[in-house]
């Protein structure tokens, strides 16, 4: 009675069997996803590297100035200049490409899912525990199944990042639509608006500030996966951090790590500034 009985419920083995089934029977589908994702990442990375460094810094300055203030624009452009001075410019562009692709995929999947959850309480109740599991599962766990489906590199890192970063935008899209003023919805219905017209012209614009908060969280979670993704071959700043850990290179580790911090600050402030402007416009419209 003092020891737990020798009983094993083979849930993990069932998951492994399911993963093996998918890998064996849907290989062509996963190969198609790999080609599309790898081509997109490489194309975006090439496009970013084509931009002259000073033009990219000016773009960051203008974005920071417009969505925060003049001090923010100057600070963000200085951060980007510092990353370049660390000789990490190509790695930064790779990381930015991976983050942009991951966030784009998360939004393409997450926003429609959040809309469906807002209109269907059964789907919302069914998805809630799944999203809870996706958001609380240690990020390293997502790397295990994706390496069965894709070769090591940027693609499995992007897929794992999408799974990890998708829940916030889905949850906040649903929350934003559900919290739209009922009087506004009833007014739109009284004028004969269809469900699609009401969604596009009333509910989504009203929910946009809340959705932007979800996009901000999704982007930050995608950036948090930069180092984790390097464990399955993802390139960029995360790879430099992992290399520094293996070599106990304090200089490289600090420079690559602080570069990720700089990107996090810039992305957080700019997306936050977009959300604040949308909220301001919404108040003015009222």
70 to 36, 220, 283: CA distances (angstroms): 39, 23, 24
> Which residue carries 């402007």 as its tokens?
277
The whole-number average pLDDT for the span 102-113 is 91
Identify the CATH number of the domain defined by range 11-50+86-285.
1.10.3720.10
Phi-psi bin for 107: left (phi > 0), alpha (psi -120 to 50), beta?
A: alpha
* Digit-coded pLDDT (tens) for 122-163: 999 999 988 888 888 877 777 877 887 888 888 888 888 888
> Which residue carries 């996706």 as its tokens?
134
pLDDT at 28: 86
* pLDDT category of residue 60 using cuts at 50, 70 and 90: very high
Q: Could you give the CA distance from residue 225 to residue 161 in angstroms, rounded to a whole number?
A: 6
Domain ranges of the chain: 11-50+86-285
* Digit-coded pLDDT (tens) for 191-248: 777 778 888 888 888 888 888 888 888 888 888 887 788 888 888 888 998 889 888 8
| Structure token digits, residue 121 | 């309480």
The whole-number average pLDDT for the span 43-48 is 91
* Digit-coded pLDDT (tens) for 160-185: 888 888 999 999 999 888 888 888 77
pLDDT at 216: 86
Most confident of 112-116, 145-149, 277-281: 112-116
Q: Could you give the CA distance from residue 59 to residue 81 in angstroms, rounded to a whole number?
A: 12
Q: Could you give the CA distance from residue 214 to residue 271 in angstroms, rounded to a whole number?
A: 10
- Global pTM value: 0.86
């Amino acid at each position: 009675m003092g020891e737990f009985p020798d009983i094993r419920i083979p849930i993990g083995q069932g998951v492994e069997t399911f993963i093996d089934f998918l890998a064996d029977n849907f290989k062509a589908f996963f190969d198609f996803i790999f080609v599309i994702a790898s081509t997109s990442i490489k194309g975006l990375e090439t496009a970013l590297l084509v931009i002259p460094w000073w033009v990219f810094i000016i773009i960051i300055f203008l974005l920071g100035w417009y969505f925060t203030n003049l001090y923010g624009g100057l600070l963000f452009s200085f951060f980007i200049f510092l990353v370049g001075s660390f000789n990490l410019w190509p790695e930064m562009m790779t990381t930015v490409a991976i983050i942009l692709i991951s966030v784009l995929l998360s939004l393409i999947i997450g926003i429609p899912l959040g809309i469906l959850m807002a209109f269907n309480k059964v789907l919302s109740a069914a998805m809630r525990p799944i999203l809870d599991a996706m958001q609380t599962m240690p990020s390293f766990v997502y790397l295990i199944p994706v390496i069965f489906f894709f070769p090591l590199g940027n693609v499995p890192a992007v897929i794992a990042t999408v799974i990890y970063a998708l829940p916030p935008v889905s949850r906040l899209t649903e929350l934003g639509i559900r919290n739209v003023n009922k009087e506004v919805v009833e007014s739109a219905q009284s004028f004969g608006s269809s469900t699609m017209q009401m969604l596009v012209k009333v509910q989504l614009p009203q929910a946009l500030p809340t959705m932007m908060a979800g996009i901000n969280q999704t982007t930050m979670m995608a950036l948090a996966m930069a180092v984790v993704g390097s464990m399955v071959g993802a390139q960029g700043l995360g790879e430099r951090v992992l290399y520094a850990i293996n070599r106990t290179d304090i200089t490289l580790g600090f420079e690559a790590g602080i570069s990720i911090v700089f990107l996090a600050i810039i992305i957080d402030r700019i997306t936050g500034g977009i959300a604040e402007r949308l909220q301001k416009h919404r108040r003015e419209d009222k």
